[in-house]
Amino acid sequence: MKKRNHAAEDLTTQSTQPTQPQDETLQGGGLQDETLQDEVSQTETPQDAAGQSEAPQNEAPRNELIEFHGDYSDIKVPIRREPSHEIYIALQPPEALPYVVAPLDMPAEEVAGFVQQRLDVIRELRGVMLKRFKKTKSLRCRFRAGDVVHLLGRPFMLRINVLSTTKNMKKSTRGRANVKASIQPDVSVILLEVVQSGNYDQARLAFLSFAKPVFAQNIRSLIQQSMQRVFPEAHVPATVNSRPMRDNWVRIDDEKDTVWFSESLIPYPPHAVVYAYLVEIIKRLAPHASEEERNELLTKGVVNWQQMKALLADPNNPFAF
């Protein structure tokens, strides 16, 4: 047990080392493959498209907990270690329990300091989420303040800002032209700016205006990595985009050199998205492959493809919206 004194608060970090080996298989919990930085432009890929991590193979997970005393004694923050260069705080619904995701090699004292600087924000965000889940028991995102929406597997809590409008502004313009979103990555918050409070379509559109470019940038690089393993000589479309789809996860437009993904895939972990792409490309490039041969190709591209297949088939999974 380590103790560190701060001017504002005392805190305690606890760490234990279990004997079980680390399971590095993606479980669909967070954005383990990609890191969002500078909103859209910067990404990192500590795991490749096949799910192979750069973490040491013999390192076991640590059970670490940050506890605060005094005015913040109600806040206890577990540390979740991931092979990433980013650190961020998130809240687990419906109890709004905070946790911090930190790089494998970041000292616990440094992680605790990061959290300690954001205690007031954590308390404020917890209040928003708890208020939301007093009204509903469902964890499905309805794009209301306090809901949690996922972007490539990483959870973000939503906050809503209703913009002021003039009386002579047309409703059609109000509904689409002015919605937008911004991100606070350190506390996993996406702020949606809409015109009409409680309008599901406007809030969803605002989220997608931010999420679609992030999705496209991250997924194209992972598709390239996966295709190098599965079909190294095959052409990878130059453009990745997303749109509403009813019957398919993926469509490939050869004429426009574009691969289209369903907008419904945007919340899912990267491995699930790459799996959906591989299913489509295997149909094209290996149409006569046996089931065993198809499974071998999928394994080359995404080692945990069976988990991703089950995830996409589950209508009640936490990523569906």
- pLDDT > 70 in the chain, percent: 77
Question: Where a domain ends, among 149, 179, 208?
Answer: 208
Looking at the structure, do residues 101 and 151 belong to the same domain, yes or no?
no
pLDDT over 90 at 306, yes or no: yes
pLDDT over 80 at 172, yes or no: no
pLDDT in tens, 77-88: 999 999 989 999
The pLDDT of residue 165: 63
pLDDT over 60 at 212, yes or no: yes
Looking at the structure, do residues 279 and 184 belong to the same domain, yes or no?
no
C-beta separation of 158 from 143 below 8 A? yes
Residues paired with 189 in a beta bridge:
157, 184
CATH of the domain at 259: 3.30.2010.10
Domain region containing 264: 211-313
C-beta separation of 51 from 26 below 8 A? yes
Looking at the structure, do residues 63 and 90 belong to the same domain, yes or no?
yes
Rounded average pLDDT over 245-268: 96
Looking at the structure, do residues 37 and 56 belong to the same domain, yes or no?
yes
The pLDDT of residue 60: 55
C-beta separation of 183 from 125 below 8 A? no
Question: Where a domain ends, among 85, 103, 129?
Answer: 129
Looking at the structure, do residues 26 and 91 belong to the same domain, yes or no?
yes
- Token pair, residue 276, equals 């959906």
Model pTM score: 0.80
DSSP strand pairing (154-162 vs 189-194) = parallel
DSSP strand pairing (76-82 vs 63-68) = antiparallel
The pLDDT of residue 321: 82
Is 320 contained in some domain? no
Is 318 contained in some domain? no
Burial class of 64 by CB neighbour count within 10 A (0 to 12, 13 to 18, 19+): buried
List the 239-243 sheet strands across, edge first: 239-243, 258-262, 250-253
pLDDT in tens, 177-205: 578 999 999 999 999 999 998 999 999 99
User: Domain tally for the chain?
Assistant: 3
pLDDT in tens, 23-50: 332 233 333 333 333 333 333 433 555 5
Rounded average pLDDT over 127-152: 94
Is 9 contained in some domain? yes
DSSP code of 314? -
Rounded average pLDDT over 58-71: 78
User: What are phi and psi for residue 219, nearest 5 degrees?
Assistant: -70, -35
Burial class of 161 by CB neighbour count within 10 A (0 to 12, 13 to 18, 19+): middle
C-beta separation of 263 from 251 below 8 A? no
Looking at the structure, do residues 187 and 306 belong to the same domain, yes or no?
no
